[in-house]
Structure 1
Amino acid sequence: MRKRTLPVRPLRIAAATAAALSLTAVAACGGTGGGSSSADSVTVYSADGLGDWFTTQFKAFEDETGISVDYVEGGSGEVVSRADKEKSNPQMDVLVTLPPFIQQADEKGLIGDTRPAGIDALPAEAKADDGHYVTLADNYFTMIRGTRVSPEPTSWDDLLAPRFAQRIQYSTPGQAGDGTALMLLVQHLYGEQGGLDYLTRLQANNVGPSASTGKLGPKVGTGELSVANSDVQMALAAIKNDKAAYETFIPTGPHGERVTLSLPYAMAEAADAPHGANAQKLIDFLMSVDVQKTLADDAFGVSARTDVHATGSNADAITAAVDGAQIWQPDWNDVNERFDALVEAYGKATGQ
Structure 2
Amino acid sequence: MATPSPRRSPDVRRAALGAATCAALLTLTACSATGGATPDATPGGAGSVTLVTHESFALSEGLLEQFEEDSGLDVQVVQQADSGALVNQLVLTKDAPLGDLVYGIDNAFASRALDEGVVVASELTAPAATDAAAYAVPGDDAGALTAIDFGDVCLNVDTAWFAEQGVPEPTTLDSLLDPAYRDLVVVPDPVTSSPGLAFLLASVGAFGEEGWVDYWAGLRDNGLKVADGWTEAYYTDFTAGGGDGPRPVVVSYASSPPFTVPEGGDAPTTRALLDTCFRQVEYAGVLAGAANPEGAARLLDFLLSDEVQADVPASMYMYPVSSAVELPDDWTRWAPLADAPFDVAPADIATHRERWLTQWSDTVIG
TM-score band w.r.t. shorter chain: 0.7 to 0.9
Deviations 1:115-137 (A, max 9, x none): 43236523643334231101101
Q: Is the 8 A contact 1:83 1:92 kept in 2?
A: no
Tell me if the contact between 1:135 and 1:304 (Cα under 8 Å) persists in the aligned partners: yes
Query: Are 2:173 and 1:156 aligned?
Result: yes
CA distance change for structure 1 residues 47 and 32 in 2, over 3 Å: closer, same or farther? Answer: closer
Within 1, Cα distance between the matches of 2:309 and 2:257?
A: 18
Does the C-alpha gap of structure 1 residues 176 and 215 become closer, same or farther in structure 2, counting only changes over 3 Å? same
Per-residue deviation, 1:99: 0.9
Q: Is the 8 Å Cα contact of residues 115 and 131 (structure 1) preserved in structure 2? A: no
Match among 67, 72, 75 for residue 79 of structure 2? 72
Q: Which secondary structure does the structure 1 equivalent of 2:161 belong to?
A: coil
TM-score computed with the length of structure 1 as normaliser: 0.73
Aligned match for 2:200, one of 155, 163, 183: 183
The C-alpha deviation readout for 1:12-33, integer Å capped at 9, x for no partner, is 989993279xxxxx98179996
Q: Which amino acid aligns with 1:231?
A: Y
Deviation at 1:100, TM superposition (A): 1.9
- CA distance 1:18–1:185, shift in 2 (3 Å): same
Structure 2 counterpart SS, 1:122: helix
* 1:108 maps onto 2:124 in alignment: no
Instruction: Report the Cα distance in structure 2 between the residues aligned to 1:272 and 1:215, rounded to whole angstroms.
Output: 39
Residue in 1 that maps onto 2:7:
none
Q: Secondary structure at the match of 2:121?
A: coil
CA distance in 1: counterparts of 2:88 and 2:112, whole angstroms: 10
Confirm or deny that 1:82 pairs with 2:89. Answer: yes
Q: Does 1:249 align with 2:254?
A: no
Structure 1 residue 172: Cα displacement: 0.9
- 1:320 pairs, out of 322, 332, 336, with 336
Note closer, same or farther for the CA distance 1:16–1:29 as it changes in structure 2 (3 Å cut): closer
The 2-side partners of 1:229 and 1:15 are apart by 25
Please name the residue that 2:6 is paired with. Answer: none
Instruction: State how far apart, in whole Å, the 2-side matches of 1:32 and 1:284 are.
Output: 23
Residue 316 of structure 1: how far off its partner (Å): 0.9
Is 2:24 the partner of 1:18? yes
Residue type at the aligned position of 1:67: D
User: Aligned partners of 2:133, 2:262: CA distance in 1, in Å?
Assistant: 33
How far, CA to CA, are the matches of 2:261 and 2:97 in structure 1? 37
1:231 aligns with 2:253: yes
- Between the two proteins, the alignment pairs up a number of residues equal to 325
1:337 and 2:351 aligned: yes
* Structure 2 SS opposite 1:44: strand
Contact kept? 2:204, 2:344, Cα under 8 Å: no
Q: Which structure 2 residue ranges, 5 or more long, are not aligned?
A: 1-9
d(CA) in 2 for partners of 1:328 and 1:228? Answer: 18
Aligned to 1:125: 134
C-alpha contact (below 8 Å) 1:114/1:134 kept by paired residues: no
3-state SS of 1:263 partner: strand
Stretch of structure 1 that moved more, 276-285 or 296-305: 296-305
Give distance in 1, aligned partners of 2:184 and 2:151: 28
1:291 corresponds to 2:308:
yes
1:101/1:177 contact within 8 Å kept: no
- Structure 1 residue identity aligned to 2:183: A
Q: Is the 8 A contact 2:233 2:250 kept in 1?
A: yes
1:282 maps onto 2:299 in alignment: yes
Of 81-90 and 131-140, deviating more is: 81-90
Q: How far 1:157 moved relative to its partner?
A: 4.2
Q: Residues 316 and 285 (structure 1 numbering): CA distance in 2 closer, same or farther, change over 3 Å?
A: same
Is residue 230 of structure 2 the alignment partner of residue 208 of structure 1?
no
Query: 1:261 corresponds to which residue?
Result: 278
Secondary structure in 2 matching 1:142: strand
What residue number does 2:105 align with?
A: 97
Partner amino acid for 2:110? I
Tell whether the 8 Å contact from 2:148 to 2:304 is kept in structure 1 after alignment: yes
- The Cα offsets for residues 132-171 of structure 1, whole Å up to 9 and x where unpaired, read as 1011013222122346533444443454448653861224
The equivalent of 1:136 in structure 2 is 148
Q: How do 1:32-43 residues align onto structure 2 when only pairs under 5 Å count?
A: 36-37=41-42, 39=45, 40-43=48-51
Letter in 2 for 1:223: D
Q: Compare relative contact order (CA 8 Å, sep 6+) and give the higher one, 1 or 2.
A: 2
Q: Is the 8 A contact 1:35 1:92 kept in 2?
A: no
From 226, 229, 235, the equivalent of 1:218 is 235
